[in-house]
Every structure is written in C-alpha cells, then in structure tokens.
Amino acid sequence: MRGWFFSENAYHLLPDAKEYDSIRVKLPNRYYDPKIGADLYHRFIDEWQIAEEMGLEIMVNEHHQTATNLNPSGPVVMGVLARETRKARLLSLGNPIATRREPVRVAEEMAMVDVYSRGRLECGFVRGVPYEMSAGNHRPTRMMERFWEAHDLIVKAWTSHDGPFNWEGKYFHHRQVNIWPRPYQEPHPPIWITALSPSSAREVGARGYIVASFLTGFDGTRAVYDAYRGRRAELGLAPAGLDRFAYAALVYTGDTDEEGYAGARKLMWYLESNKVPPQFTSPPGYHPIANSVNAMKGSNPGIFKMFQNPTLPGLMENGLVFAGNPDSVYRQVKKMYDHVGGFGHLLMMGQAGFLDHDETVKGMEMFSREVYPRLKELSVR
C-alpha cells in the first residue's frame, strides 16, 4: 500500500459560523487576509516536502470559491511541487474536467507537470463537487457525458504525436489539436478517477483506471470497489490489482490513542466547518433523481451524511477517520482493507483547520515511521 499525504490548504481563520450561511460559494473574501494566506501557502508546500522526505507520496486537489480549500488551480500547486520535490509521485485529484471549459488546456497543463517532474505525475480527473456548480456557473445536468468527452479528448491529445487532429464533439470543438509539450510518461500519466457511487465506478472499472473513493466508509467503499470489479468481470477483463483502488480518509497518528484522537478532532474542522445551504449541496441534476427524492424525505444523499453532526467515535466507527496510536491506526486501516477486498492507496487528509505545523508533522512522522511499514506489507487474504 502506498500512503499519500493530502491537505486541502484551508483558510481557517473565519468569523463565527453564525455570521455566515455558507462557507462555500458566497463567503465574502474580505475575510481572507492575503498576508496570512501567503504564509499558509508556503507552510503547506513545506509540509508536502516533509511528506516526501518521510517517504510518502503527495496528493493535491482543487476547489473554488471556498475557505475550505485555497487551491482554485491544482495545476499551479503541482507546478510548484514538480520543482520543489524530487522523488514523490505527484497526484492531482483532480482536474474537474466535467466543468473545465478547455480540456486541451488541461492536457497541456498536466503534460507540463509531467515533464517538469520527470514523469512523476499521477493525473486525476473528477466531476467536481456540487458546490462548484454555482461557483463556476457550470450546468449540473448531463455532466458525465461531458466528463467522458473531455477525458477522451485529453487522452487523445496526450497520445497523438503526428501533428494536429480534429475534434468536433458534442461539447468541445478544436480543429487543430497538437499539444507541446507531450507527456513524459508513455503512453501517458496514470489516470485516477474519483467515484463515490457504484454507477460511476463501473465506468472507471471498464477502463481500468485507478478508482478513488472519498470518505465513503465501510459499505459505501465496498459497493464502489465491487461495482468496479463486477464491471470488469462482466466485460471479461482481467481482474484489477490492488493498485487500482484508493481510499481517502482523515488520518492522525499519535504516540498514544489520546494524542491521535486529539489530532483527529482538529482534522474534523474540515467536516464541522462545512456549513453549506441546500441550493449548493444539491444543485438540480447533480444527484440522481432517486437521491433527490430521498433528500426531500429527509435522508441526505451519499457524501453529505458525513457532515451531519460528526462525532469522532462515529466517524471512526464508520471508517471515515483513522486515528489513535500506531497500533490502533494500523488496525483501523486493516479493518477497512479487509472489509472492501483490499486497496493499494491510502489518501490521507493529514492537515485541516487548526492543526498547526508541528502537529501536522508529528502525525505524519508517526504514521510514516510506525504504521506505514506494516501497511506496505498488506496483501489480500
């Protein structure tokens, strides 16, 4: 198993939540102090560098118009990391290609990062969370059709080396596609795709990409992985190796359970501060109709369950947080691993909210020294 250190680069110095009704989309940026923001940016780059020194891989993501994530451009951060690191794999998870207007630009940016880093790019494609719809004026309907067309165009741009090709699709038009640079890795960087539901996992399985599931807990994750494996079996494709499966959770390892829980409680800022009204969590067309019906009846769809009054014991019990002393963290990860049929990548949100630099480094260090060696040995029984 590979461990990936991941931070959303949040801006945590916010007013009392009573003063605003949404941390996303509409929170005025007067609450953001660019001088503090600059310090934070440099601190988070430092932490990714420390992760590399500890033998961990690096994961970056992007979100828009939100205090929870100050990386509105994943490729910019990836550019910095490509130069500031030497050996870690660099995962962007990812490029929101169902909403970006120019897939060819995404192909160019990612090819650049791949060349800069001498072939260390792992390229994620995501649909974009519901909150991005108003933030980017993106129509939430028929997004997957757009997503796959963007994907097809990007892969073709990466793998075409004989001059311009033509693309006049339903969503994208380019009559002369011929990107410079081309990717460093052949035929192209590994592709990761986020899937939180079985239906999206099937498509990823058919194509054999790495499927990443975020905070989906025991049964949600198993459903995603089963759908991936099931679709491959239906198509008569070779069974997928463990390296095709990734799971993202909040992770904090301390010397003692108490220290681990204390760190995890600080990470929970990410869930607790996610105050978002329904028009942004459920833009029309984003969720399947059946999920919308359930939401109207009072049960929140999929990923929003975790935001409802989270408690540390509840989150740990459901496999959204792995925390405690090294033995505890190992046992918790192993339990998830066994429940879902194994996975090859643990994506660890290891910094959030008020977890300061020293605490962040401590959690990373404890994990990489005391837990990671054991996780690397895991195989499916």
Least distance in angstroms from the C-beta of 315 to another protein: 28
Q: Which amino acid is at 317?
A: E
Q: Other C-beta atoms within 10 Å of 70: how many?
A: 18
Binding of another protein by 283 (CB under 8 A): yes
144 binds another protein (CB under 8 A): no
Task: Determine, following the binding rule CB under 8 A, whether residue 292 of this chain makes contact with another protein.
Answer: yes
297 binds another protein (CB under 8 A): yes
Contact with another protein (CB under 8 A) among 181, 187, 278, 373:
278
In whole angstroms, give the CA distance from residue 101 to residue 90: 24
Q: How far is the CB of 137 from another protein (least distance, A)?
A: 6
CB of 141 to another protein, least distance (A): 4
**Closer residue to another protein in complex, CB, 75/140:** 140
Residue 99, interface with another protein (CB under 8 A)?
no
**Contact range with another protein by CB under 8 A, out of 50-58, 110-118, 271-279, 320-328:** 271-279
Which of 141, 159, 199, 311 is in the footprint of another protein by CB under 8 A? 141
In angstroms, give the least distance from the CB of 5 to another protein: 34
Beta carbons within 10 angstroms of residue 222's beta carbon: 17
- Name which of 25 and 352 has its Cβ closer to another protein: 25
Stretch that binds another protein, among 71-79, 102-110, 198-206, 287-295 (CB under 8 A): 287-295
Annotate 310-349 with DSSP letters as a single string.
--HHHHHHTTSEEEESHHHHHHHHHHHHHHHT--SEEEEE
CB 261 within 8 A of CB 250: no
CB of 135 to another protein, least distance (A): 10
Which of 280, 337, 343, 367 binds another protein (CB under 8 A)? It is 280
At 71, list the tokens: 């990386």
Query: Binding of another protein at residue 169 (CB under 8 A)?
Result: no
Q: Is 379 an interacting residue with respect to another protein (CB under 8 A)?
A: no
Cβ 346 vs Cβ 230: under 8 Å: no
Determine, following the binding rule CB under 8 A, whether residue 142 of this chain makes contact with another protein.
Answer: yes
Residue type at position 181: P
Exposure b/e, 96-128, CB count within 10 A at least 16 = b: bbbbbeebbebbbbbbbbbbbbeebbbbbbbbb
Instruction: State which amino acid sits at residue 15.
Output: P
Helix (H), strand (E) at residue 37: helix 34-53
Instruction: Pick the piece of the chain touching another protein (CB under 8 A) from 6-14, 247-255, 261-269, 279-287.
Output: 279-287
| Helix intervals (H) in 160-288 | 198-207, 217-234, 257-267, 269-272, 278-281
Site for another protein in 19-48 (CB under 8 A): 25-26
Q: Does 293 bind another protein (CB under 8 A)?
A: yes
Strand (E) or helix (H) holding 146 = helix 143-159
Torsion on CA atoms 275, 278, 281, 287, rounded to nearest 10? 160
Joined together, the tokens standing for residue 256 give 């003692």
Residues of this chain that bind another protein (CB under 8 A): 25-26, 133-134, 137, 139-142, 277-280, 283-285, 289-290, 292-293, 296-298
